[in-house]
């Protein structure tokens, strides 16, 4: 298994975040932010993908940060409910907007491996808004 | 597109950026992790539509795409479109059902499935270093 996804024992200070967002710009920007503060991040574009990761991989996930509205048949609420039933040790954060997701990511960084934000989460929000407006 | 408009302000752009397009999340996850281990910046897309959004928003050095995917186009169509609009961008196509010859003229390299992730990474490195000689592994 790649060291980036290696067993937590190999890198005791690293935790794994499963980031679920159907908007690639939001997902990629938040993933990079979380990686820059020391988290391993697994990305899922839908609730179905998230469940595949949670059910079928041996990856130890510590936190799931998920958007509420997701493509496909499983939304963030349903995903959260599944996790609370089947993997209750995983913390779940539901974010209804990119701003809330960025705020949550900032808070995760403050309590995460490096215990500091690499930069202000508002920069993440501004950047996402700018890229989304270009479409 | 100005440098301000590209999200790479928020990530390491000293490293080459690979866009991995693969609809099977476990494969995509593993491939992305192996590439990151090797120092690449990786953007992950679950289909061609996401890939096009990423290509429009960021600076990509290499497109690594599966062929058979759901969505508005498959990976080969994506590669053809990228080839015509971004000729500088390197392209690697992976597939379990195409023959290498079908990607000639579009992709810089072809990788048949099943593959070892490490072999794909070797091919990506060779292409970006300009040392890739064979079209197919």
Contact A42, B29 (CB under 8 A): yes
- pLDDT tens for residues A64-119? 999 999 999 999 999 999 999 999 999 999 999 999 999 999 999 988 888 788 88
Measured between beta carbons, the chain B residues lying within 8 angstroms of A30 are: none
Q: What are phi and psi of A44, to 5 degrees?
A: -130, 135
The tokens describing A68, both together, are 């509420």
The tokens describing A2, both together, are 């790649």
Residue B52: partners with Cβ closer than 8 Å, 6 or more residues away: B78, B81
ipTM of the complex as predicted: 0.87
How far does A15 lie from chain B, in Å, by closest CA?
15
**CB-closest option in B33, B50, B54 to A5:** B33
pLDDT for residue A6? 47
Q: Can you give the length of chain A in residues?
A: 135
pLDDT surpassing 60 at residue A2: no
Using alpha carbons, list the distances in angstroms from residue B51 to B20, B71, B113: 8, 11, 21
Contact A53, A18 (CB under 8 A): yes
CA–CA gap between residue B113 and residue B97 (Å, rounded): 8
Contact A104, A79 (CB under 8 A): no
pLDDT for residue A4? 56
Contact A102, A125 (CB under 8 A): yes
pLDDT for residue B105? 84
Which residue ranges of chain B lie beneath pLDDT 70?
Answer: 1-13, 132-137
pTM of the predicted structure, to 2 decimals: 0.88
pLDDT for residue A12? 37
pLDDT for residue B131? 78
CA–CA gap between residue B92 and residue A65 (Å, rounded): 31
pLDDT surpassing 50 at residue A29: yes
A24 touches chain B (CB under 8 A): yes
Place of tokens 């197919």: B136
- pLDDT tens for residues A32-54? 999 999 999 999 999 999 999 99
B80 touches chain A (CB under 8 A): no
The tokens describing A38, both together, are 């020391």
| Of A2 and A44, more confident | A44
pLDDT surpassing 50 at residue A63: yes
Place of tokens 């990761």: A53
| Of A59 and B101, more confident | A59
How far does B74 lie from chain A, in Å, by closest CA?
17
What would the DSSP string read from start to end of B2-45?
-GGGSGGGGS--SS-EEEEE-SSHHHHHHHHHHHHHTT-EEEEE
The tokens describing B89, both together, are 């961008």
Measured between beta carbons, the chain A residues lying within 8 angstroms of B10 are: 29, 32-33, 36, 119, 123-124, 127
pLDDT for residue B31? 95
Map out the domains of chain A as residue ranges. 13-134
What would the CATH number be for the domain defined by A13-134?
Answer: 3.40.50.2300
Contact B17, B40 (CB under 8 A): yes
């Amino acid at each position: 298994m790649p060291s980036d996804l290696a067993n937590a024992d190999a890198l005791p200070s690293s935790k794994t975040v499963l980031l679920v967002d159907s908007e690639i710009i939001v997902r990629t920007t938040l993933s990079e932010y979380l990686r820059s503060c020391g988290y391993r991040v697994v990305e899922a574009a839908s609730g179905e993908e998230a469940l595949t990761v949670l059910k079928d991989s041996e990856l130890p996930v510590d936190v799931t940060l998920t958007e509420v509205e997701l493509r496909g048949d499983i939304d963030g609420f349903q995903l959260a409910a599944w996790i609370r039933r089947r993997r209750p040790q995983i913390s779940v954060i539901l974010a209804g907007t990119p701003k809330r997701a960025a705020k949550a990511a900032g808070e995760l960084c403050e309590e995460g491996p490096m215990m500091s934000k690499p930069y202000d989460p508002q920069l993440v929000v501004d950047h996402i808004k700018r890229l989304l407006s270009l479409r | 597109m100005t440098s301000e408009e590209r999200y790479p302000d928020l990530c390491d752009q000293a490293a080459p950026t690979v866009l991995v397009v693969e609809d099977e999340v476990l494969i995509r996850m593993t491939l992305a992790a192996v590439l990151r281990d090797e120092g690449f910046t990786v953007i992950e897309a679950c289909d061609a539509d996401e890939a096009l959004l990423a290509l429009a928003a960021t600076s990509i050095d290499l497109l690594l795409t599966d062929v058979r995917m759901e969505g508005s186009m498959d990976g080969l169509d994506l590669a053809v479109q990228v080839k015509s609009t971004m000729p500088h961008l390197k392209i690697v196509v992976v597939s379990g059902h195409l023959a290498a010859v079908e990607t000639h003229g579009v992709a810089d390299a072809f990788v048949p499935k099943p593959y070892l992730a490490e072999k794909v990474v070797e091919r990506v490195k060779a292409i970006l270093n300009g040392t890739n000689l064979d079209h197919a592994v």
